[in-house]
């Protein structure tokens, strides 16, 4: 699950990043202003490259690119946000936290940095701190993807053991973006785990209308078909799971016959 989440967290980074201070308001900026603008542009380009390499799991190259970004402009907040994600993936917790904090220090309104720091905190069992970061992300009225933080807040609440709060966040996320695949599949899984199989099946059908199958969605389909006693359909889901995602955690559970 962590890998899927990290990919979703990085997805909107390029669109939300911008050089510090914005664009010049004069038709002929001074040499200093032009230099600062150029530095910010280079930092953004290197940061976008780092994000792309990160999403492919190429951490060493991602680190090299983000360091070039910081060298170009050491006050470009999104670079520290990506650096935090890289260190988080590498389990360098101290460095991850330092860089998320640095990104937020440079831009308090950076919703992506708040969102990613919030997820870092939740995965480390610091649930209330994480939820507070999601709240901060949502304070920004210009946040392009508020459903992202809503969904992560739902996942964090699940980890905390608060099902009611998780459902509230998922419902809010789907009101903001009814076709959000990650929210839909996570909510479907929650409904399955709480015994609402018909609701879970309805949400899973909706998920398969808006997104391609994943190991998680195929596994949920298999579990639901087992619950209603359709062995043939359960076997069909299992076949797809083994064929499409043979190395997934869900496929390994299937091979072990571990259905709970």
Residue among 20, 140, 111 nearest 73 (CA): 20
Q: How far is CA 52 from CA 23, 45, 81, 187, 220, in A?
A: 25, 11, 14, 28, 30
DSSP 92: -
Report the run of H or E that residue 208 belongs to, with start and end: helix 197-210
- ∠ CA 120-68-62, rounded to 5°: 45
Residues 52-60: contacts with CB under 8 Å, at least 24 apart: 54/6, 54/10, 54/82, 54/85, 54/86, 54/89, 55/7, 55/10, 55/11, 59/86, 59/89, 59/90
Q: Position of tokens 């220090």?
A: 105
Pick the CATH number of 178-260 from 3.40.50.1010, 1.25.40.10, 3.20.20.70, 3.30.750.24: 1.25.40.10
CB 216 within 8 A of CB 193: no
pLDDT tens for residues 175-184?
999 999 999 9
Q: What is the mean pLDDT of each run of 10 residues along the chain (260 residues)?
A: 41 30 41 70 95 95 97 96 97 97 97 97 97 97 94 97 97 96 97 96 96 97 95 96 96 90
E-strand stretches of the chain: none
Q: How far is CA 6 from CA 1, 82, 138, 149, 206, in A?
A: 9, 11, 19, 13, 23
pLDDT tens for residues 204-245?
999 999 999 999 999 999 999 999 999 999 999 999 999 999
Q: What pLDDT does 32 receive?
A: 57
SS3 category, 89: helix
pTM: 0.83
């Amino acid at each position: 699950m962590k890998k899927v989440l990290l990919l979703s967290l990085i997805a909107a980074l390029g669109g939300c990043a911008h050089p510090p201070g914005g664009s010049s308001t004069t038709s002929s900026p001074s040499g200093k202003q032009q230099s600062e603008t150029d530095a910010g542009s280079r930092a953004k380009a290197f940061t976008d490259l780092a994000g792309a390499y990160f999403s492919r799991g190429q951490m060493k190259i991602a680190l090299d690119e983000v360091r070039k970004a910081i060298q170009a402009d050491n006050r470009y907040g999104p670079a520290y946000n990506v650096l935090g994600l890289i260190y988080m993936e590498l389990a360098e917790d101290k460095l991850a936290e330092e860089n998320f904090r640095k990104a937020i220090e440079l831009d308090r309104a950076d919703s992506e940095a708040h969102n990613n720091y919030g997820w870092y905190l939740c995965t480390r069992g610091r649930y209330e701190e994480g939820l507070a970061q999601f709240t901060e992300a949502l304070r920004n009225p210009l946040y392009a993807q508020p459903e992202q933080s809503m969904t992560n807040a739902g996942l964090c609440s699940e980890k905390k053991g608060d099902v009611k709060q998780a459902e509230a966040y998922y419902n809010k996320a789907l009101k903001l973006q009814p076709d959000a695949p990650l929210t839909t599949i996570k909510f479907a899984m929650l409904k399955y785990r709480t015994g609402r199989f018909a609701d879970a099946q309805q949400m899973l059908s909706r998920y398969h209308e808006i997104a391609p199958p994943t190991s998680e969605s195929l596994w949920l389909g298999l579990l639901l078909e087992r619950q209603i006693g359709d062995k043939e359909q359960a076997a069909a889901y299992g076949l797809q799971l083994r064929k499409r995602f043979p190395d997934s955690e869900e496929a390994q559970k299937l091979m072990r016959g571990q259905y709970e």
